[in-house]
Amino acid sequence: MKNTFGNNITITLFGESHGEAIGCVLDGMAPGIKVDEDAIERMMELRKPKGKISTSRHEPDKAKIVSGVYNGYTTGTPICIVIENTNTHSGDYAKLNIIPRPGHADLTAGLKYHGFQDYRGGGHFSGRITAPIVAAGAIVMEALNKKGIYVGTHISSIGEIKDRDFADYVSDIEGLYDKEFPVLDDETEDKMRAYIEAAAAEGDSVGGILKTAVVGCPGGIGEPWFDSVESMLSHALFSIPAVKGVQFGGGFALAGMHGSEANDSFRMAGNKVVTATNHNGGINGGITNEMPIEFSVAIKPTPSIYKEQDSVDLDKKENTRLKIEGRHDPAIIHRARIVVDAITAITLADLLVTHYGTDYLCNTD
């Protein structure tokens, strides 16, 4: 099983949902990068469950840095982050090794690991494993911000309810980090929350679409063919549980356009080349063109629902019905946005140091 992503900056994940701890090793970060533990805590807070639209499992999620940081700065050696699991109800999952949940990794994990996997709470396949990604991403995000590079994600749509699009990118991105429910139009929040709560009341769940913008990224970043910006970001984003689609710029809508509509015309803005539109999401030929990088991510409905569903009994080799217990999110999209931000920051940092050298992010005070 491969748990490491990246080329020059890498992240390796470890742990299970109901094990003693989860965590990661962030390697390749240059020495001398300031580590703001308050910034880590702020990003971790945005991932935590809140209210009726989230699971009732609440963890302190204190990210403990055990190596790679000294006197508030990176040392250049691997950064190990550990997060303890303190609130597990493993008994809720006793039968799921025999009767797998539809839409979840219970069955496929058993097929891959021959029944030896830790299935409690989804084990290594649980969305809980995204917590260390957020902690590591917070360290990287601070370094990117000091280079003038900003990443932000909002809920573009849930059902038929749509948020407004990015307008003033920097202001909008900064505003999102003050919101536990990440929408750009405040009036949209109540509608989306009500939609999620209605599904939860029926024992069901919902998904939606997240949209991300990155501003300030230099042009010329990306390593075609196989480590292009789209390739690397897609690889990372599809590693997040529940992500089932990624599109850049106009994405699939471009397939229905003529070239005269889809092409982003070049114009001069002072001494800088800009595009009149951004249908290609700030990327041409797998390389950044200095316009905002924009992409959307489809988040499927949480597979753990309280409605009775068809499944199979793997011991008896017969069809059966399953009604799950435990604590589950009726939607994870509002919590997933900070995970998308974190993995985007890590991926872009890897691409940047590949282009400029491993010390690109250091000395950023």
Partners of 15 in the β-ladder? 22
pTM above threshold 0.85: yes
Least confident of 6-15, 113-122, 341-350: 113-122
pLDDT digits (tens, 9 = 90+) for 309-337: 999 999 999 999 999 887 788 999 999 99
Considering only the top CATH level, what class is 4-356?
Answer: alpha beta
Confidence of residue 118 (pLDDT cuts 50, 70, 90): confident
What pLDDT score does 167 carry? 96
What pLDDT score does 89 carry? 67
Distance from CA of residue 164 to its chain's centroid? 21
Strands 208-215 and 293-299 turn out to be: antiparallel
Q: What does the pLDDT average to over 54-80?
A: 93
CB-side neighbour CA atoms (13 Å) of 225? 0
Confidence of residue 120 (pLDDT cuts 50, 70, 90): confident
Strands 208-215 and 272-275 turn out to be: unpaired
How many residues are given for the chain? 365
Question: Which is more confidently placed, 57 or 343?
Answer: 343
Residue type (1 letter), 252: F
Residue 342 phi, psi (nearest 5): -65, -45
Confidence of residue 94 (pLDDT cuts 50, 70, 90): low
Distance CA 319, CA 337 (A): 37
In this predicted structure, the answer to whether residue 365 has a pLDDT above a threshold of 60 is: no
What pLDDT score does 208 carry? 98
Confidence of residue 58 (pLDDT cuts 50, 70, 90): confident
Average pLDDT along the chain: 94
Continuous segment of H or E residues that includes residue 73? strand 73-74
Closest CA to 290 of 242, 219, 360, 338: 219
In this predicted structure, the answer to whether residue 83 has a pLDDT above a threshold of 90 is: yes
pLDDT digits (tens, 9 = 90+) for 337-357: 999 999 999 999 999 999 999
Distance CA 79, CA 74 (A): 8
What pLDDT score does 325 carry? 80
In this predicted structure, the answer to whether residue 290 has a pLDDT above a threshold of 60 is: yes
